């Protein structure tokens, strides 16, 4: 159905103005002041956005939905994850395909694609995980890129599981350079992590709070430095996922200064929660175990500053949803067995707005740029990341006057499949009132409007 959004304040990465937006089918076709509804086709739905922002649909460039990891599986499926994403204003997700080392890449791609297609309510694409690089795998990576998956993911962590060695890293980057695809990378020195984990456990330091000292900032900064050396030698374009500390950002930024094509991501948890959360009593701290770990609280203002200065390009979530009762507790006797990850796909936009924009840490343009536009630009998401004639009609009508709280699972503000929210009780100063994906209203008045099992989402073409 055609859609006319009137009286809104259009906010993009670069512009701020008042106008009406008309969407015919899946595309924005007119942006003008005072569009007369009578000039629109019969049956046009008119939505009054007075007092609200009109943002481009937000993009989360780093999520895990189907994730076999640390001896278990993440809880969400695409139905729950995409619904939660949309309620939180995110209209496109980029998921990491994480095959085991002995899995064939093409089979993994088909598996991950099959989980999303016909299930997802929001649009989606993937970063192809390279967990093994040999001749057979290389041929499949070339075919996967031809299928439109124009980014890879490597782990310089998780020794013996997902991590690649230096030979594999070198050849992955060479292939990426040849094919013109971006390589996203989890950067930590896996040997240092493994050694420090053993030392801590041997000393009886088994609680969640010892996750951070097992992989301190130097371990992450070293991983980033390592990636940058390889990127410099191969000329590949790289994207450092979930930088958690000033030390890691500085390593990437100094490589950029010497000409390395590198982009830097921060994820929501590293902006709003710190290491003290893992010290909560009664094993509650396990809810906050992720990698790289939550850092000392002195790091948070530095990360906001890197974001405000645009050294950090994007804000993602690294949504990795594991239950507390049945999964996080696998690490009761050893923090190394706590499945890593903090569920947050639903909360990114609202917490970034509440803790970033309303406090003045970032302005509205930075907010849109980091949560939408840069991800579209870096990963070549055709039609996404802007409000413009010809763009996909992915629109978030955002209510800055909304006041509410993130609830416990099963209540109004928790639609992820996990049995806990890391942010339960946190205040929200704004929310997505109406959300469209390619012209279809998926959220209305803050409620999901897509219907049960609505599989409107599709694989985003990449350019």
- Per the CB < 8 A criterion, the answer to whether 269 and 342 are in contact is yes
Residues 162-191 interacting with ligand URP (rule: CB under 6 A): 186
- Looking at beta carbons only, is 220 or 454 nearer to ligand URP? 220
The number of helices, as runs of H, and strands, as runs of E, in the chain is: 13, 21
Tell me if 223 contacts ligand URP by CB under 6 A.
no
Mark residues 43-82: x for contact with ligand URP by CB under 6 A, - for none. ---------------------x------------------
H/E segment holding residue 256: helix 246-257
Interface region with Zn ion, contact rule CB under 5 A, candidates 113-121, 185-193, 279-287, 402-410: 185-193
Residues 294-333 interacting with ligand URP (rule: CB under 6 A): 318, 320
**CB of 340: closest distance to ligand URP in angstroms?**
3
Phi first, then psi, for residue 107 (nearest 5°) are -65, -40
In whole angstroms, what is the distance from residue 338 CA to residue 206 CA?
11
Whether the CA torsion 270, 273, 278, 282 is positive or negative: it is negative
In whole angstroms, what is the distance from residue 56 CA to residue 6 CA?
15
Residue 231 binds what, of Zn ion, ligand URP, none (CB under 5 to 8 Å, by partner type)? none
Tokens of 65: 């939905």
Interface region with Zn ion, contact rule CB under 5 A, candidates 121-129, 176-184, 295-303, 311-319: 311-319
Whether the CA torsion 377, 380, 386, 388 is positive or negative: it is positive
In whole angstroms, what is the distance from residue 160 CA to residue 147 CA?
29
- Looking at beta carbons only, is 290 or 351 nearer to ligand URP? 290
Residue of 90, 91, 291, 317 interacting with ligand URP (CB under 6 A): 291
**CB of 292: closest distance to ligand URP in angstroms?**
8
Residue 341 binds what, of ligand URP, Zn ion, none (CB under 5 to 8 Å, by partner type)? ligand URP
> What separation in angstroms does the CA of 74 have from each of 205, 378, 407?
26, 27, 21
Residue 90 binds what, of ligand URP, Zn ion, none (CB under 5 to 8 Å, by partner type)? none
Alpha helical stretches, state H, 353-440: 364-368, 374-378
**CB of 322: closest distance to ligand URP in angstroms?**
9
Tell me if 244 contacts ligand URP by CB under 6 A.
no
- Looking at beta carbons only, is 119 or 186 nearer to ligand URP? 186
Residue 271 binds what, of Zn ion, ligand URP, none (CB under 5 to 8 Å, by partner type)? none
Tell me if 340 contacts ligand URP by CB under 6 A.
yes
| DSSP letters for 48-72 | E-TTSEEEEPEEEEEE-SS-EETTE
- Per the CB < 8 A criterion, the answer to whether 2 and 25 are in contact is yes
- Looking at beta carbons only, is 186 or 348 nearer to ligand URP? 186
Mark residues 90-119: x for contact with ligand URP by CB under 6 A, - for none. ------------------------------
- Looking at beta carbons only, is 265 or 274 nearer to Zn ion? 265
Look at residue 312 and give its three-state secondary structure.
coil
Tell me if 319 contacts Zn ion by CB under 5 A.
no
Q: Taking CA 301 as the corner, what is the angle to CA 297 and CA 303, rounded to the nearest 5 degrees?
A: 100
Tell me if 318 contacts Zn ion by CB under 5 A.
yes
Residue 374 Ramachandran class (φ > 0 left, ψ -120 to 50 alpha, else beta): alpha
CA atoms within 13 Å, Cβ hemisphere of 414: 19
Residue 323 binds what, of ligand URP, Zn ion, none (CB under 5 to 8 Å, by partner type)? none
- Looking at beta carbons only, is 74 or 396 nearer to ligand URP? 74
**CB of 221: closest distance to Zn ion in angstroms?**
15
**CB of 292: closest distance to Zn ion in angstroms?**
8
| DSSP letters for 197-237 | HHHHHHTT--SGGGHHHHS-HHHHHHHHHHHHHHHHHH---
Residue of 9, 119, 153, 186 interacting with Zn ion (CB under 5 A): 186
- Per the CB < 8 A criterion, the answer to whether 57 and 90 are in contact is yes
Footprint of Zn ion (CB under 5 A): 186, 318
Q: Which residues bind ligand URP (CB under 6 A)?
A: 64, 186, 290-291, 318, 320, 340-341
């Amino acid at each position: 159905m055609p859609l006319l959004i009137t009286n809104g304040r259009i906010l993009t990465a670069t512009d701020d103005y008042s106008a009406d937006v008309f969407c015919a089918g899946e595309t924005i076709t007119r942006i003008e002041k005072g569009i007369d509804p009578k000039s629109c086709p019969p049956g046009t739905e008119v939505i009054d956005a007075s007092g609200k922002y009109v943002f481009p649909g937000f993009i989360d460039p780093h999520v895990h939905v189907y994730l076999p990891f640390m001896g278990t599986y993440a809880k969400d499926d695409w139905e729950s994850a995409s619904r939660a994403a949309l309620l939180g204003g995110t209209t496109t997700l980029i998921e990491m395909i994480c095959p085991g080392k002995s899995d064939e890449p093409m089979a993994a791609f088909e598996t991950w694609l099959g989980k999303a297609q016909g299930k997802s309510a929001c649009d989606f694409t993937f970063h192809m995980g390279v967990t093994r690089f040999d001749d057979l795998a290389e041929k499949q990576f070339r075919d996967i890129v031809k299928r439109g998956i124009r980014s890879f993911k490597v782990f310089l962590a998780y020794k013996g599981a997902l991590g690649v060695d230096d030979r594999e890293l070198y050849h992955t980057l060479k292939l990426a350079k040849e094919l013109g695809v971006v390589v996203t990378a989890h950067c930590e020195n896996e040997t240092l992590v493994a050694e420090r984990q053993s030392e801590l456990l041997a000393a009886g330091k088994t609680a969640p709070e010892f996750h951070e000292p097992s992989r301190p900032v130097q371990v992450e900064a070293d991983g980033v430095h390592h990636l940058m050396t390889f990127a410099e030698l191969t000329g590949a374009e790289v994207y450092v996922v979930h930088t958690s500390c000033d030390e890691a950002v500085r390593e990437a930024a100094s490589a950029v200064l010497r000409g390395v094509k590198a982009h830097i991501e921060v994820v929501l948890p590293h902006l709003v929660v710190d290491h003290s959360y893992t010290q909560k009593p009664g094993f509650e701290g396990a809810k906050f175990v992720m990698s790289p770990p939550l850092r000392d609280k002195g790091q948070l203002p530095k990360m906001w500053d890197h974001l405000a200065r645009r050294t950090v390009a994007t804000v993602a979530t690294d949504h990795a949803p594991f239950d507390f009762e049945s999964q996080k507790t696998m690490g009761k006797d050893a923090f190394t067995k706590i499945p890593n990850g903090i569920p947050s796909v639903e909360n990114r936009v609202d917490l970034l707005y509440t803790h970033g924009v309303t406090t003045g840490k970032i302005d509205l343009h930075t907010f849109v740029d980091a949560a939408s536009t840069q991800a579209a630009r870096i990963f070549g998401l055709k039609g996404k990341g802007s409000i413009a004639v010809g763009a996909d009609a992915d629109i978030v009508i955002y209510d800055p006057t909304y006041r509410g709280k993130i609830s416990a699972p099963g209540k109004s503000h928790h639609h992820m499949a996990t049995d806990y929210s890391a942010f339960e009780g946190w205040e929200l100063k704004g929310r997505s009132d109406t959300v469209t994906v390619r012209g279809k209203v998926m959220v209305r008045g803050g409620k999901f409007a897509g219907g049960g099992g609505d599989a409107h989402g599709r694989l985003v073409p990449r350019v």
